Amino acid sequence: MMLDGKVAIISGIGPGLGQELAHVFAREGADVVLAARTRSKLEEVAAEIAGRYPERRTLVVPTDISDSVQTQALVDATMAEFGRIDCLVNSAYLPPPFTMFENADLATWKASFDITVFGTLQLTQQCVPHMRAAGKGSIVFVNSMIQKKPIATQSGYATSKGALTIAARMLAKELGAYNIRVNSTFMGWMWGPPVEMYVGWQVSQGRSKEDVIAEITKDIPLGIIPDDADCANAVAFLASDLASVITGAELNVNGGEIML
């Protein structure tokens, strides 16, 4: 198991990738701290993990990561329960409404940045002292290929993720001296609830499911929509000791759609 004995905080435990991250980290041997705003959803995931991996421990901490008091409470609860933080996976995000830039309400961009950028960075900042004291740690930023393959109407989302890309590079440089690694994954299309909903909506408009999937996969060399769980595997690898000499990496996890 890649993460045997590790303790991992995972933010953004929502439908799709966030939940798969929790399951993959537990499968690979980690005790997991589940963070998102809705307690009932967190408890559902914790119950699923308990059923599949009864030897794993979970901690549910409802958290709005835009609130520094709540993120500090998340870190404090983790330390009280487990005594350390080995891994932090920054998966929480809030995209602003998709619209052309000239029509965008920039107030929605600010709200997005409060979650995607500043919430993520304050949680990271609060975890660093504990990792530094332990002499090691791994931080993974879940990013998006949208900033590498621009799509009209998604400039707000791409800009927030671009800020995280630069932040991760700088943190890798600054924290390396403390044996804290910082890496990013660039996800594209992922087969999970959000994409399933999109495909279902397209089908409701009269298109065939096969045509919709073919349109999505035409630029993906592997010819598939990557599964959420497969994408979560890449995050687990970067968090693990198998990647002990990897920091500052920007790993494409999108079936080859982007290779930059």
| CATH number of residue 86's parent domain | 3.40.50.720
Say whether pLDDT at 193 is over 90: no
Quote the domain boundaries for residue 221: 191-225
Say whether pLDDT at 18 is over 90: yes
In this predicted structure, what is the pLDDT of residue 198? 85
Say whether pLDDT at 223 is over 90: yes
pTM of the model: 0.94
Does some domain include residue 258? no
Tell me what the mean pLDDT of segment 47-73 comes to.
97
**For the chain, what is the domain count?**
2
CB 123, CB 65: distance < 8 Å: yes
Query: Based on the domain organization, do 54 and 86 belong to the same domain?
Result: yes
- Tokens representing 55 are 């030897």
Say whether pLDDT at 197 is over 90: no
Query: Based on the domain organization, do 155 and 217 belong to the same domain?
Result: no
- Report the mean per-residue pLDDT for the chain: 95
Cα dihedral across residues 151, 97, 185, 188: positive or negative: negative
Query: Based on the domain organization, do 81 and 95 belong to the same domain?
Result: yes
Say whether pLDDT at 194 is over 90: no
Name the pLDDT band for 15 (thresholds 50, 70, 90).
Answer: confident
Tell me what the mean pLDDT of segment 205-222 comes to.
93
Query: Based on the domain organization, do 102 and 26 belong to the same domain?
Result: yes
| Interatomic CA distance for residues 218 and 240, integer angstroms | 33
Say whether pLDDT at 14 is over 90: no
Does some domain include residue 254? no
Centre a 10 Å sphere on the Cβ of residue 181 and count the other Cβ atoms it contains.
25
- Tokens representing 237 are 């690898």
Supply the Cα-derived Rg of the chain in whole angstroms.
Answer: 18
Say whether pLDDT at 237 is over 90: yes
